[in-house]
Structure 1
């Protein structure tokens, strides 16, 4: 008699995120070919948090400061991003989407929402609420673990 092993929940979540990301990349290419996944994530973060600083984007993404600075320069050169002086910290700049960047952000959001609707088809509101609560509990457990050397600080991803 063969013993069945219980599926690994976190491995299933990992596979789900990879499959979702692959679909997002394809959907993103339909919106704007040549836009990288990290650029899309940055535009989405800035779209959801207008006035955020580069430091906040670095903290959110977990990416290297220099890498984020180069990417923001490219986004600004393409006309999608504006860097405005910070009201309180003159060394800092606030990131906002330009009119063209806002249009791109809206198109990316519409594409993401369409994908999300397809992925969650057949899951009623109560099921989605329960899933969100379970994921929040798992995230809380992860956040409560002691930090290890080299871990990014406060690396929440909401894109």
Structure 2
């Protein structure tokens, strides 16, 4: 069938809709793991822990810039995680107004568990894919991300 503008737009809509559907399925399975797991962790808690696990010593402002989330919402999340002993705050040595955050041992343990569970969901998602197919999918998604970043 020849490509017309309508066919291309429909195809683009289908691709974006499929990406949305797949992410919804992934989040749903991750939510189920969090809900049924031994830790009282919400999806956003896990995202915040994941961020500071990957960026130890980052600030709450760094998290806000990275996530694009509301600063007040993030402040409540960070405070809750600090109160529960999952995040540790250290004053910035060069600017005492800034607080550097990193995972406590308990936070690291939970983050490690969450990362293992996410890996299981990821493996389920690409079950039956060859290494070449996985690499091609990652390449295409990175190109899609790059197009949207431009």
* Structure 1 residues 140 and 53: CA distance shift in structure 2, 3 A: same
Query: 1:87 Cα deviation (Å)?
Result: 2.7
Distance 2:58 2:132 in 1: 33
Q: Tell me if the contact between 1:31 and 1:107 (Cα under 8 Å) persists in the aligned partners.
A: no
Corresponding residue SS for 1:52: coil
Matched, 1:16 2:11: no
Query: 1:29 Cα deviation (Å)?
Result: 2.1
Q: Deviations over 1:46-92 (max 9, x none)?
A: 11111111111111221111111111000001110001111322211
Q: Tell me if the contact between 1:82 and 1:95 (Cα under 8 Å) persists in the aligned partners.
A: yes
Partner of residue 123, structure 2: 117
In angstroms, what is the RMSD of aligned CA positions?
A: 1.6
TM score, norm. by length of structure 1: 0.83
Distance 2:37 2:93 in 1: 34
Corresponding residue SS for 2:85: coil
In terms of fraction of residues, the more helix-rich structure is: 2
The equivalences for 1:5-154 within 5 A come to: 6=11, 8-144=14-150
Query: 1:33 Cα deviation (Å)?
Result: 4.8
Q: Tell me if the contact between 1:50 and 1:97 (Cα under 8 Å) persists in the aligned partners.
A: yes
TM score, norm. by length of structure 2: 0.88
The structure with higher relative contact order (CA 8 Å, sep 6+) is 1
**Unaligned stretches of 5+ residues in structure 2:** 1-6
Distance 2:73 2:50 in 1: 17
**Unaligned stretches of 5+ residues in structure 1:** 145-159
Distance 2:80 2:64 in 1: 16
Number of equivalenced pairs: 141
